């Protein structure tokens, strides 16, 4: 009897000393899925920090954000089960197709967990991101000024109307990197050849600057040139474009002398058909740059101010009429700058030789300064056409 009592007390003590079962904590992770022209599945990982010997259950619901059911995804609710002795399961959400492959800001919705069984809630919700920012289809309102496909006394020597599906790489180069010290201007962007930053859609070339980490920089963009592919001397040049306008944004449509590799800048000459500093959204600048007779940089330029509105609201046509010893700059056929050989004086006049095109959207730099917290991204320049008449 004494022995049995001792055994009973020993068993009771061991039972009291046994650790309480550990209740696992459940969480759900954020997920993303690229939207395509066919339906797809976004998978959320639901996991436990510890396994347990019984099944774990948790309810879920989906809630709209910028993504709206049923247009962007299929609404659903239900229960997720993680079997005994396992630590994770997946929640699958159907993402709707977009046959047009529209480029727009990414869309989000929320997964919300509730009513846990055999577990406790850790992370209560997760974001589902439908990636739409890389779509190939982007349109913009086409209103604004236009110019003709012919002029008396001129022949159309070359043009790009950007009507195809892809950039014409027989005419255009896509520069990569930040150049030497931001191409001499301390710019903040990294230029890429990705369709994230430059692509052709609905009859426009689009250069898109984004706020994103890339190769040690905080912004990406694109810089296109026709160097060694399309060079021109004299004629009338028309470029129809709609411009990005915001603090720290610096779009430009310009030209450099084809001999830059041998004589350097500014001896090669630079023709800035259009530069816009985002702080002044209704103002653009036209400028010629050259090397003075004393060997330093010299320039002559002027500004053009819209009577109302800004350059992001409609298309405008930026033109030069370029002849021997003279360049005239126009916006919507309004003359606002003339530069002649007399302005260059005793220095070598570089503008009677061939030049190539550069189109780019810079972020930051010595002239515009950096973006601030009010600057929105992405920023886009739309180019409808470039035409060279000679």
Write out pLDDT tens, residues 227-245: 999 999 999 999 999 999 9
- Residue 378, preceding peptide bond in cis (omega within 30° of 0): yes
pLDDT (0 to 100) of residue 222:
98
pLDDT (0 to 100) of residue 12:
52
Long-range contacts of 178-184 (CB under 8 A, 24+ apart): 178/215, 178/217, 182/364, 182/365, 183/362
Which candidate in 133, 187, 189, 270 is catalytic? 270
Residues 274 and 382 in one domain: yes
Residues 60 and 203 in one domain: no
Task: Tell me, yes or no, whether 139 lies in a domain.
Answer: no
Determine whether 161 is an active site residue. no
Burial class (CB in 10 A: 0-12, 13-18, 19+), 107: buried
Which candidate in 187, 189, 208, 275 is catalytic? 275
Average pLDDT, the chain: 95
The domain boundary, picked from 79, 114, 131, lies at 131
Who's near 93: CB < 8 A, 6+ residues apart?
41, 42, 43, 44, 62, 73, 74, 76, 111, 128
Burial class (CB in 10 A: 0-12, 13-18, 19+), 216: exposed
Who's near 377: CB < 8 A, 6+ residues apart?
209, 210, 211, 219
Per-residue pLDDT tens over the stretch 183-228: 889 999 999 999 999 999 999 999 999 999 999 999 999 999 999 9
In the predicted structure, residue 304 carries a pLDDT above the cut 50: yes
Task: Tell me, yes or no, whether 51 lies in a domain.
Answer: yes
In the predicted structure, residue 15 carries a pLDDT above the cut 70: no
Residue 63, both tokens: 């809630």
Task: Tell me, yes or no, whether 181 lies in a domain.
Answer: yes
Determine whether 275 is an active site residue. yes
Kindly report the CA angle at 44 between 38 and 49, in degrees rounded to 5? 165
Per-residue pLDDT tens over the stretch 101-143: 999 999 999 999 999 999 999 999 999 999 999 999 999 999 9
Task: Tell me, yes or no, whether 349 lies in a domain.
Answer: yes
Task: Tell me, yes or no, whether 321 lies in a domain.
Answer: yes
Question: Quick one: pLDDT band at residue 1, thresholds 50, 70, 90?
Answer: very low
CATH label of the domain that carries residue 346: 2.60.120.200
Judge contact between 94 and 62, C-beta under 8 A: no
Residues 97 and 234 in one domain: no
Q: For residues 358 and 225, give the distance between their C-alpha atoms in angstroms, rounded to a whole number.
A: 4
Residues 193 and 297 in one domain: yes
The whole-number average pLDDT for the span 53-67 is: 97
In the predicted structure, residue 16 carries a pLDDT above the cut 80: no
Half-sphere exposure of 53 (CA within 13 A, CB side): 2
Q: What end-to-end distance do the CA atoms of the chain give, in Å? A: 119
- Check residue 8 and report its DSSP letter: H
CATH label of the domain that carries residue 125: 2.60.40.2030
Count of CB atoms situated within 10 Å of the CB of 375:
17
Residues 276 and 341 in one domain: yes
pTM: 0.91
Query: Domain of 79?
Result: 20-131
Task: Tell me, yes or no, whether 182 lies in a domain.
Answer: yes
The domain boundary, picked from 131, 146, 167, lies at 131
Residues 121 and 248 in one domain: no
pLDDT (0 to 100) of residue 389:
98
Residues 324 and 188 in one domain: yes
Judge contact between 76 and 62, C-beta under 8 A: yes
* Chain center to CA of 33: 19
Task: Tell me, yes or no, whether 149 lies in a domain.
Answer: no
For the chain, how many structural domains are there in total? Answer: 2
In the predicted structure, residue 22 carries a pLDDT above the cut 90: no
The domain boundary, picked from 81, 115, 131, lies at 131
Task: Tell me, yes or no, whether 5 lies in a domain.
Answer: no
Kindly report the CA angle at 271 between 269 and 277, in degrees rounded to 5? 125
Residues 357 and 272 in one domain: yes
């Amino acid at each position: 009897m004494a022995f049995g009592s001792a055994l009973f007390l020993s068993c009771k003590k061991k039972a009291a000393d046994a650790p309480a079962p550990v209740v696992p904590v459940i969480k759900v992770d954020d997920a993303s899925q690229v939207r395509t022209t066919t339906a797809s599945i976004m998978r959320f990982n639901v996991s436990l920090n510890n396994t347990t010997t019984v099944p774990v259950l948790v309810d879920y619901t989906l809630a709209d954000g910028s993504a709206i059911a049923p247009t962007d995804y299929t609404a659903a609710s239900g229960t997720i089960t993680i079997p005994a002795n396992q630590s994770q399961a997946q929640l699958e959400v159907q993402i709707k197709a977009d046959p047009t492959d529209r480029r727009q800001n990414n869309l989000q919705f929320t997964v919300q967990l509730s009513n846990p069984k055999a577990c406790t809630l850790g992370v209560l919700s997760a974001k589902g991101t439908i990636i739409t920012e890389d779509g190939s289809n982007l349109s913009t309102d086409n209103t604004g000024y236009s110019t003709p496909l012919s002029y008396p006394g001129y022949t159309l020597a070359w043009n790009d109307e950007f009507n195809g599906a892809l950039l014409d790489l027989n005419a255009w180069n896509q520069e990569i990197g930040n150049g030497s010290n931001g191409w001499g201007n301390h710019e903040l962007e990294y230029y890429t050849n990705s369709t994230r930053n430059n692509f052709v859609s609905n009859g426009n070339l689009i250069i898109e600057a984004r706020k994103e980490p890339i190769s040690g920089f905080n912004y990406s963009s694109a810089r296109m040139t026709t160097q060694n592919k399309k060079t021109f001397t004299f004629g009338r040049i028309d470029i129809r474009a709609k411009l990005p306008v915001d603090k720290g944004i610096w779009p430009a449509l310009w030209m450099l002398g084809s001999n830059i590799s041998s004589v350097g800048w500014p001896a090669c000459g630079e023709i800035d058909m259009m530069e816009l500093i985002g702080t002044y959204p209704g103002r653009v600048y036209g400028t010629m740059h050259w090397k003075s007779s004393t060997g330093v940089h010299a320039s002559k330029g002027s500004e053009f101010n819209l009577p109302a509105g800004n350059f992001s609201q409609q298309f405008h046509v930026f033109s030069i009429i370029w002849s021997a010893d003279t360049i005239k700059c126009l916006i919507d056929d309004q003359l606002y700058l003339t530069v002649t050989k007399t302005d260059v004086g005793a220095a070598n006049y570089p503008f009677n030789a061939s030049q190539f095109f550069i189109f780019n959207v810079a972020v930051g730099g010595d002239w515009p300064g950096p973006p601030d917290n009010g600057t929105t991204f992405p920023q886009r320049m739309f180019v409808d056409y470039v035409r060279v008449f000679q």
